[in-house]
Amino acid sequence: MIIGLTGGIGSGKSTVARAFETLGVAWVDADDVSREIVLPGEPALIAIKKRFGDQIIHLDGTLNRAALRDIVFKHPEHRQWLESLTHPKIRERLLQHLERLKTQGAPYVLLVSPLLFESGQDALVSRSLVVDVPQALQLSRTLQRDGVSESQVHAILAAQLSREQRLAKADDVIDNSGDHASMLKQVVRLDERYRQLLND
């Protein structure tokens, strides 16, 4: 069984995934895979460099993600082009990782993806789990963590489903606005439920 774990920026998806990991659950992160497919030598990076030029490439040949993000969030047509290039490649690579994890004997696996619904990756999962926090908390956490401007965070939020839309699509929800212990309790409860579903 594949559980899709999603949530807006700064909601704590990775923290929740690591909590599941302590219970023996394997996970693959779409953000990690999105970085993987633009490593030097990868076809996606070659195509991105061809379109945007050397301004989005660091001296060591790696992608300057901040420069690219700045371009695509200012120009919707560039973002559409980038997504049409990268989403199929990310999906293909995710499937490879998920297949590998399935063979390792975990009870179920998590697909952690900020754009689970937006990218159509929810078609790969049996259930969707949304990590939910109020937008003000998303904003403050992201500003502290990522060192980006407030306008960039708002642009990222605008590119994601609204909180209400995400919750409407969720099979399960973890409220991550409280303390760590509260989140862990919810993870343990859901883990028991997922294992039960596997046995039914």
Domains and CATH numbers, the chain: 2-199 (3.40.50.300)
Give the model's pLDDT for residue 107: 84
User: Taking a C-beta distance cutoff of 8 angstroms, is the pair 103, 138 a contact?
Assistant: no
Q: Is 12 annotated as a binding residue?
A: yes
Give the model's pLDDT for residue 62: 94
Give the model's pLDDT for residue 148: 67
Q: Is 24 annotated as a binding residue?
A: no
**Which residue in 174, 172, 165, 178 sits closest to 137, CA to CA?**
178
Structure tokens at 192: 């028991």
Which residues, at least 6 apart from 144, have a Cβ–Cβ distance to it below 8 Å? none
pTM here is: 0.83
Q: Is the dihedral of CA 167, 90, 31, 16 positive or negative?
A: positive
Give the model's pLDDT for residue 168: 95
Paired sense of beta strands 2-6 and 172-175, if any: unpaired
Q: Is 113 annotated as a binding residue?
A: no
Helices (H), the chain: 13-21, 30-36, 43-52, 65-74, 76-102, 135-146, 150-159, 163-169, 180-199
Give the model's pLDDT for residue 146: 63
Q: What pLDDT tens digit does each residue of the chain (200 aa) get?
A: 999 999 988 888 999 999 999 999 999 999 899 999 999 999 999 999 999 999 999 999 999 988 998 888 888 899 889 989 998 999 999 999 998 888 887 889 999 998 899 888 999 999 999 999 987 777 777 667 666 677 777 777 777 788 899 999 999 999 999 999 999 999 999 999 999 998 88
Q: Is 10 annotated as a binding residue?
A: yes
Alpha-carbon gap, residue 31 to 111, rounded angstroms: 10
Q: What is the DSSP letter of 126?
A: S
